[in-house]
């Protein structure tokens, strides 16, 4: 029997940001998974999961949008791989609520005009790398160790919350990001704001809120001696990278802190060509740091 080319295969829900402002997250995810021999097949015609706005306005709509996505994902082989922390949280919360409440399930089934399915495991990329693929194997695949790079791993709100839904790691003291990037050779710093909110939902409506919260996150990472931040959420990235200059102007602090998607750093470590990782679309230029650490 010829062995399957990809030992692991997943269906893939990129979410809206990865097709727009976070395209480097999508590109580097595909690059990384290809390099590791993990298959990804995008769910056809997936729709927006509704993120935080949907449940802020209408919980039933939020559940229905996610349920529709879960049923579309059912048509594609493999557990569902999700990159965006917000999409991940919403899809998991939906599975949890629908399994929990007959009343909600009936409403949602009517709304999406079909049976709801909540059996397919929904997995964040971190979980796939740490558990399914394995940290040892990841470490063995590394060609360019990230040694000397001091990384502040930023979880934000939604990767591990809410607590009633079993998510990828301990709610209050997760270590999965540190373990994964540590396997690629990076030094991770201990810092205070790993799980603090960046103010994402106020990006449009109250930029002042974002400047304050994200400013505190950047200051905390800087104080801990980090060279850069690593994130797994396009909204966090938008606030910390795209608005960093604005935050510097508002707070008078100077950060100059590149904000990487986790897959950019990991893909670099396993030997994906840097030109394919979207470094040029980051607002805080990461190239000087990567050169200084001999990673380019």
Partner 1 sequence: MKHTKMTLSTETMNLGFVRKVEALSGSSVRRCFQCGKCSAGCPMRSFMEHPPNRIVRLLQLGQYERVLAGRSIWYCASCETCTTRCPNKVDLAAIMDALRKLSWDAQGPSKESYVQLANRLFLDNIRTYGRQYEMRLAAVFNVKSGQFLKDLMLGPKLITRGKLKMFHQKNRNLAEIEQIFKRIEELRKKGEAP
Residues that bind partner 1 (CB under 8 A): 16-17, 19-21, 23, 45, 47-48, 50-61, 64-65, 68, 107, 110-113, 157-158, 161-164, 171-172, 195-197, 199-202, 204-207, 209, 213, 242-243, 280-281, 283
- State the minimum distance, in angstroms, from the CB of residue 33 to partner 1: 22
Q: Are the beta carbons of 81 and 263 closer than 8 angstroms?
A: no
- State the minimum distance, in angstroms, from the CB of residue 22 to partner 1: 8
- State the minimum distance, in angstroms, from the CB of residue 69 to partner 1: 11
- State the minimum distance, in angstroms, from the CB of residue 124 to partner 1: 16
- State the minimum distance, in angstroms, from the CB of residue 201 to partner 1: 6
Rg (CA), the chain: 19
Choose between 87 and 125: whose C-beta lies nearer to partner 1: 87
Choose between 197 and 230: whose C-beta lies nearer to partner 1: 197
**What sign does the dihedral 131-134-135-138 (CA atoms) show?**
negative
Choose between 48 and 270: whose C-beta lies nearer to partner 1: 48
Choose between 56 and 253: whose C-beta lies nearer to partner 1: 56
The SS3 call for residue 10 is: strand
Choose between 77 and 280: whose C-beta lies nearer to partner 1: 280
């Amino acid at each position: 029997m010829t062995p399957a080319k990809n030992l692991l295969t997943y269906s893939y829900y990129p979410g809206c940001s990865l097709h727009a402002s976070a395209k480097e997250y999508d590109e580097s995810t595909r690059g990384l998974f290809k390099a590791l021999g993990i298959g990804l097949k995008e769910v056809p015609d997936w729709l927006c999961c509704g993120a935080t706005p949907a449940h802020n306005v209408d919980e039933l709509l939020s559940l229905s949008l996610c349920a529709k996505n879960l049923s579309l994902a059912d048509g594609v082989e493999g557990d569902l791989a999700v990159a965006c922390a917000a999409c991940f949280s919403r899809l998991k919360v939906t599975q949890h609520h629908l399994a929990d409440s007959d009343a909600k399930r009936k409403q949602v089934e009517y709304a999406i005009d079909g049976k709801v399915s909540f059996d397919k495991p929904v997995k964040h990329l971190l979980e796939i790398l740490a558990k399914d693929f394995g940290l040892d194997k990841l470490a063995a695949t590394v060609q360019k160790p990230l040694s000397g790079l001091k990384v502040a791993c930023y979880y934000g709100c939604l990767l591990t919350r809410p607590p009633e839904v079993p998510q990828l790691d301990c709610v209050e003291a997760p270590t999965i990001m540190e373990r994964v990037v540590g396997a690629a050779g990076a030094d991770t710093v201990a810092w205070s704001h790993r799980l603090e909110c960046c103010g994402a939902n106020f990006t449009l409506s109250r930029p002042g809120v974002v400047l304050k919260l994200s400013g505190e996150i950047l200051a905390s990472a800087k104080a801990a001696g980090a060279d850069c931040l690593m994130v797994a959420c396009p909204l966090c990235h938008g606030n910390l990278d795209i608005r960093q200059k604005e935050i510097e102007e508002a707070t008078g602090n100077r950060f100059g802190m590149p904000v990487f998607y986790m897959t950019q750093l990991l893909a670099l470590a396993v030997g994906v060509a840097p030109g394919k990782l979207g470094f040029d679309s980051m607002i805080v230029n990461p190239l000087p740091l990567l050169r200084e650490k001999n990673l380019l």
